Amino acid sequence: MSLDPVVVYMTLAAALGLFMAWGIGANDVANAMATSVGSRALTPVQAVMIAAVFEFCGAYFAGGEVTSTIRKGIVDAAVFQRTPDLFIYGMLAALLASGVWLFMASQRGWPVSTTHTIVGAIIGFAIASVGLHAVHWEEVGTIAVSWVISPMLAGVLSFAVFNSMQTLIIDTEEPIRNAKKYGPVYIFVVSLVIVLLTLTKGLTHIGWNLGLSASVAIALCIAAATTAMGVFLIARIKIDPDADRKFHYANVEKVFGVMMIFTAAAVAFAHGSNDVANAVGPMAAVISAVHSGEVLQESALPPWVLLIGGAGIVVGLATFGFRVMRTVGEHITQLTPSRGFAANLAASTTVVLASFTGLPISTTHTLVGAVLGVGFARGIAALNLRVVGNIFMSWMVTLPAGALLAIMFFFMFKGMFIDQTFLR
């Protein structure tokens, strides 16, 4: 009894999409949570619990914009209209190639870019199956520029945030009192940015279209409630005068440790909103092509696809994320809760802004850029340049690695299914 090709393609799309999402969790989510764990503000178990909630929420509620770019913005759907089978093989190959590369990189502790990986894989199969003209090179150029701009922007923001913290809190006569005074302000800012952008842009793909005034009002209320929670937690901190004798800012760092809970949640939400597209974009493209029998420029994104992406991301972090966490959180520069807070605030703001413009930036580049910005604020000697060099090298290798693996897997799928077709 022969299997229905539609069932085979759908099953493969779901399985490989889940594998790719697992790789995102193991690599990208791990480096997204690394600052919180590396600064000792959160334990690995706490980081996984926060990521489980907010990565999933970001993926499900705010992941639609970038998903549309990944699944229909990089390749020209028109050139595959007569050969939708090739498009399906290619998207399946892109998922498998990306998952394999992310597994290899995570095993070595390399914080590579999942966006680089999937974009390289999609370019690779498009060239192999149709030719250079199948790629929207202007779209790829825009994405490539964002890979340079995003870490620079995050680095500048984290540098500015850290310097503002030094001016308002650390380099004052009463740092503990000022930390309690200004800490809630930082919490309010990050909460307002995340919530407002989500309400105004991120929920449109699931049919929630709120007006601007309603969005602002709701965002202010949620940010105020979050800030009140932060004030409550900060007030419960027990000040230990003896701790300050060993490290002058020990008690101040306790305050930033509480604040990092909120920025860790923001980073997780921001990451889920942007990088879930790397897994579910190609998966949604395959599902659409299988159901319609053609490659569509526009198609609905089934909610269960985002559910698979969100679940895979969380499982990847919980089972295999510790290696990359260690690289970003401990080996680039020495992080404390205050430094990690600055990096998280800058990275989450940058990623969420990009996510709601539909631009698939590299979360890895953004977060590493933010960590470097904090390191520069302390002086170049504070950076481990050897580790930074290895990270940059892994970034350079990632795109061609994704492309070559996708080409190999494309011909594998083509050979496996050459006698199968769902066209009627």
DSSP code per residue over 49-89: HHHHHHHHHHHHHH-HHHHHHHHHTSB-GGGGSS-HHHHHH
Asked whether the beta carbons of 146 and 359 are under 8 A apart, the reply is yes
The torsion angles phi and psi of 383, rounded to 5 degrees, stand at -100, 140
For residues 413 and 95, the answer to whether their CB atoms sit within 8 Å is: no
Instruction: Tell me how crowded residue 25 is: count the other CB atoms within 10 A of its CB.
Output: 35
Q: Give the pLDDT band of residue 418 (cuts 50, 70, 90).
A: low
Q: How many CB atoms lie within 10 A of CB 31?
A: 30
Query: Which residue from 326, 322, 325, 364 is spatially nearest to 347, judged by alpha carbons?
Result: 364
Interatomic CA distance for residues 195 and 94, integer angstroms: 33
How far is residue 272's CA from residue 185's CA, in Å, rounded to a whole number?
Answer: 25
Q: What is the pLDDT of residues 182-222, one digit of tens each?
A: 989 988 988 887 777 667 655 555 556 667 788 788 889 99
Contact 292, 77 (CB under 8 A): no
> Is the confidence at residue 49, as pLDDT, over 50?
yes
- What lies within 8 Å, CB to CB, of 391 at 6+ separation is 110, 111, 327, 332, 368
> Is residue 225 predicted with pLDDT exceeding 90?
yes
Q: Answer whether 248's CB lies under 8 Å from 179's CB.
A: no
Q: Which among 6-10, 30-34, 91-95, 243-247 has the top mean pLDDT?
A: 91-95
Largest Cα separation within the chain, whole Å, is 80
- The C-alpha atoms of residue 125 and residue 409 are separated, in whole angstroms, by 9
pLDDT at residue 114 above 70?
yes
Tell me the average pLDDT of the chain: 78
* Coil, helix or strand at residue 333: strand
Rounded CA-CA distance 211/227 in Å is 24
CA distance 130 to 375: 45
For residues 215 and 416, give the distance between their C-alpha atoms in angstroms, rounded to a whole number.
Answer: 50
331 DSSP 8-state letter: I
Count of H-run helices and E-run strands, the chain:
16, 0
Considering only residues 53 and 242, tell me which one the structure prediction assigns the higher pLDDT. 53
Three-state secondary structure call for residue 135? strand
Q: What is the pLDDT of residue 117?
A: 86
- Across the range 153-178, mean pLDDT stands at 86
At residue 1, the pLDDT reads 45
pLDDT at 189: 86
Confidence of residue 147 (pLDDT cuts 50, 70, 90): confident
Instruction: Report pLDDT digits (tens) over 379-411.
Output: 665 666 777 777 778 778 888 899 999 999 999
| Mean pLDDT (whole number) for 60-64 | 63
Tokens of 142: 């825009």
- If you average pLDDT over residues 261-277, what whole number do you get? 74
Tell me how far apart the alpha carbons of residues 69 and 281 are, in angstroms, rounded to a whole number.
8
Per-residue pLDDT band at 421 (split at 50, 70, 90): low
Strand partners, 135: 75
Q: How far apart are CA 19 and CA 30, in angstroms?
A: 16
Closest of 274, 345, 258, 370 to residue 29, by C-alpha: 274
Residue 247 is given by DSSP the state S
Provide the 3-class DSSP secondary structure of residue 383: strand
